Every structure is written in structure tokens, then in C-alpha cells.
Chains A and B, each alone.
Chain A
Amino acid sequence: MNKKKIFKLAKGFRGRAKNCIRIARERVEKALQYSYRDRRNKKRDMRSLWIERINAGTRQHGVNYGNFMHGLMKENIQLNRKVLSEISMHEPCSFKALVDISRSAFPGNKKAELPPRKEGLAILV
């Protein structure tokens, strides 16, 4: 019975690890340990991904991530990074409104210049 469970968890493993019980048991135990650890890592990774996306979205409007979050905290806007990244991807107008609020709240970026617009392949056409 335990062997059946091990083989069920060992589906998709490479080589003899999916067929032979001695090797499969080791690999499955290692896989379960990794999944325990990575359930905690996933939270960290997702947060850093959201921060990257927010950073990219705000730099398009000439504000960097640190000043943007500082402005939001000053205005007592309690949106978390997950929904901020979703807004920056799917709702550009609302995101620009948030960036403007942050820029007016935290004066460090008022004189910041927008990054120079890159001209893409449209020139060749």
C-alpha cells in the first residue's frame, strides 16, 4: 500500500526513480521536503515578482518603486503589492492615477524626468 502511494507520487520522475521502489522512495521523500520548503519560498518569490512589476509600471511614468510606495503610505492607501501589480498590468489608467497621487504626496519625484522614449521598429516601417 505504501509502495503504491510512493509510485503515485513519483509520476514523471526521471529514469529508475519512477519504477524502482528503492530509488523512488528516496526521490519522493526529497520531493516532499522540497515542496514543504518551497511553499514558504513561493510567498517570497511572488512578492518580489509583484515588486518588479510595480517598479516597471511606475518607471514608465517617471517614478521609482521606493518613492511610489512612500507616497502611497503617506496618503494612507492600503493597497497591497499583489493588487497593485494587477492594476499596473491590466488597468493602466487607474495605475497612472495612483502614480499621480503618490507623486503629489511625496515631493521627491516632482522634478523627475520621464525616461527618454525609445523609438522602436516603427521607424523602419
Chain B
Amino acid sequence: MACRRCLKALTRHAPQVLQPSSQSLQPLKSHIQFHSLILQRLTRIWVPRFNPQFFHSHDFSSQSKRPSNSKFTDDEDNASGSGAEDDEETSEKEGEIDGNEERDIGNASGSVIERAYSVEEKIKEAADIGYKVTGQLQRSDRVFKPYEPVFAIVQIGSHQFKVSNGDCIYTERLKYCEVNDKLILNKVLLLGSKSQTIVGRPIVPDAAVHAVVEEHALDAKVIIFKKKRRKNYRRTKGHRQELTRLRITDIQGIEKPGEPSYGKMEKASEKMVEKVAVAA
């Protein structure tokens, strides 16, 4: 491990050793990069106007910083590492050149740039990671149906739940959604009813489970108590985990027994005809 760390440090410092003139220019560089990030959404012409020298030193610093981020476990490096990963995800859409600059800026000031991106794309990406898509806010929709004998196994984050219509589940706190939000959980692993079982490998495509966020709550308090006997060491801490309560309203993707679609249509049309005849 120590040998690997020395090698990474050497490669990190190598470009600075090779190009000592660039050391003085680096703060300027970051400043220019920050401005370019702000103006990125307005014009993308800023990018190719940079000197090619800056680009070469870019590549060295970005490439060598990446492995060091993965090795060290400081908080800053974690934030910058995660910022680098998120910026990489967005960079795939926007182009490699933009991605390099974003990575460097992410390494410089990690969490600030993440919030700047969290308006549209970041929310959707995080929702995909947690396998939920926020639908509309609920107003006066009749969403709560009576119980149907259909179940689904849905995955949220790393937890899997066996859910049915009308169930209530507690999950880890879901960011980017508020109370009375409709959610669609699209990582469905298995659907089952009385007559059918649909097994996904790993997920069932075109299956959706609709849910409504009931509340964001805190779990009951757990007391974390550590003691080493005869060594005068005693620590007490309280912890309340943040949870979200979801109410499952609908499962789509499987034929539900007891509700044949064609039969219902015919009955509805007959009723309509009768009503019209009576009124006339």
C-alpha cells in the first residue's frame, strides 16, 4: 500500500516537476475554469478558445488526481471523488472537454458545484439511482383502490420489498421528493398474481409500481453506548434514522384477476346505452 501511495504521489508531482512554470498559472487556470463553468450554459464557444497548453496540463492533473481520490478516504476527497463521478456522468452528455474542466473544478471545491447542478439533471440522476421517478403532486385524484391479490417485489436503493396494493413501507429517506408526491418505482424484480408469475432478470421491463409519499419521519431513538470496563471509557450517543413512508397504490405490468378488460368495456357501453335511452 505504501509503495502504491508513493507511486501515485510521484505521478501527481511529476507534471509539476516537468512544467514548473505551470505552478504559478494553476490558480489562474482554476479561476478561468470557474468562469467557463458559469458561462457554459450560455455559450459553449468558450471551450475551444483555451490554449492547448492548458489542455495538456489539464489531462495530467485530472488523470493523476483520479486514482489518488480513490485511494484516500478523507472527507474532502470523498466529496470531490463523488463530485468527479457525477461530473463524469454529466460529461458523457455534454462532451469530453467540458467533463475535464468539471472534474478539476469538482476536485477543487466539491460540494458547491454539485448543488449548482442539482436543478434538473442531478435530480433525475439521483432518482434513477434510487429507482424512483417523481410524478405529479396529488390534488384530488382517487388513487386508493381496494385490495387486489397481486404482489410485486420492488427494489429501492439496496432494499427489496414485497408489496401489494394498499401497503405501507418504510424506506431510507428519499431526497428530492416531498409529502404527497406520486412516485413510480421502476426497478421491479418479480410480479405475481394468482395465475401468473413474471420473473425479471434482473428487472421486469415495462413494469411500474405507483406509490405516494405519506410522510418523512424519524425513526425511534437508539442509544449508542460504548464502554470499556476498568479503563474509564464510556461514550453515549443518540441516533434517529431518517425514514420515508410510502403508500403503494397501484401495480402495473401484470394481468389482474377479476377484472377482464374487455368484459368491463362491454358492460360500460351497455350501461351508457341504457342511460341514454332512459333520458331520451
Chain A proximity mask over B177-210: 1 for CB below 8 Å, otherwise 0: 0000000000001101010010111100000000
**Contact, CB under 8 Å: B225 / A93:** no
Given A86-B162, A94-B192, A77 and B225 contact (CB-CB distance below 8 Å): no
**Contact, CB under 8 Å: B192 / A77:** no
Whether a CB of chain A sits under 8 angstroms from the CB of B56 is no
Whether a CB of chain A sits under 8 angstroms from the CB of B226 is yes
Q: Is the interface of B mostly helix, strand, loop or mixed?
A: strand
Please pick, from A80, A91, A101, the residue contacting B192 in the complex, using a CB distance under 8 A. A91
**Contact, CB under 8 Å: A36 / B151:** no
A77, A80, A83 — which one has the most chain B CB atoms within 10 A of its CB? A83
- The number of A-B residue pairs with CB atoms under 8 Å apart is 58
CA distance A87 to B199 in the complex (A): 12
**Contact, CB under 8 Å: A76 / B160:** no
CA distance A82 to B201 in the complex (A): 18
**Contact, CB under 8 Å: A83 / B202:** no
**Contact, CB under 8 Å: B223 / A94:** no
**Contact, CB under 8 Å: A79 / B153:** yes
CA distance A76 to B204 in the complex (A): 12
**Contact, CB under 8 Å: A79 / B151:** no
Residues of A within 8 A of B230 (CB): none
**Contact, CB under 8 Å: B224 / A77:** no
**Contact, CB under 8 Å: A36 / B226:** yes
CA distance A39 to B162 in the complex (A): 23
**Contact, CB under 8 Å: A76 / B192:** no
Q: How many residues does chain B have at the interface if contact means C-beta atoms less than 8 Å apart?
A: 22
A32, A36, A76, A78 — which one has the most chain B CB atoms within 10 A of its CB? A78
Per the 8 Å Cβ criterion, residues 152-184 of B in contact with A are: 153, 155, 160-162
**Contact, CB under 8 Å: A29 / B225:** yes
CA distance A24 to B199 in the complex (A): 54
Closest-by-CB residue of B relative to A95 is B197
Whether a CB of chain A sits under 8 angstroms from the CB of B278 is no
**Contact, CB under 8 Å: B199 / A91:** no
Could you list which residues of chain B lie within 8 angstroms of chain A, going by C-beta atoms? 151, 153, 155, 160-162, 189-190, 192, 194, 197, 199-202, 222-227, 234
Could you list which residues of chain A lie within 8 angstroms of chain B, going by C-beta atoms? 29, 32-33, 35-36, 39, 75-80, 82-83, 86-87, 90-91, 93-94, 97-98, 101
Please provide the 9 A-B residue pairs with the shortest distance between their CB atoms, ordered closest to farther.
A32-B225, A78-B202, A94-B192, A94-B197, A97-B197, A76-B201, A83-B160, A86-B162, A83-B153
Q: Identify 26 residue pairs between A and B in the complex whose beta-carbon atoms are under 8 Å apart, listed by A's number.
A: A29-B234, A32-B223, A33-B226, A35-B222, A35-B223, A36-B224, A75-B201, A76-B201, A77-B199, A78-B155, A79-B153, A79-B160, A79-B189, A79-B190, A80-B160, A82-B160, A83-B189, A83-B190, A87-B153, A90-B162, A93-B192, A93-B197, A94-B197, A97-B199, A98-B199, A101-B199
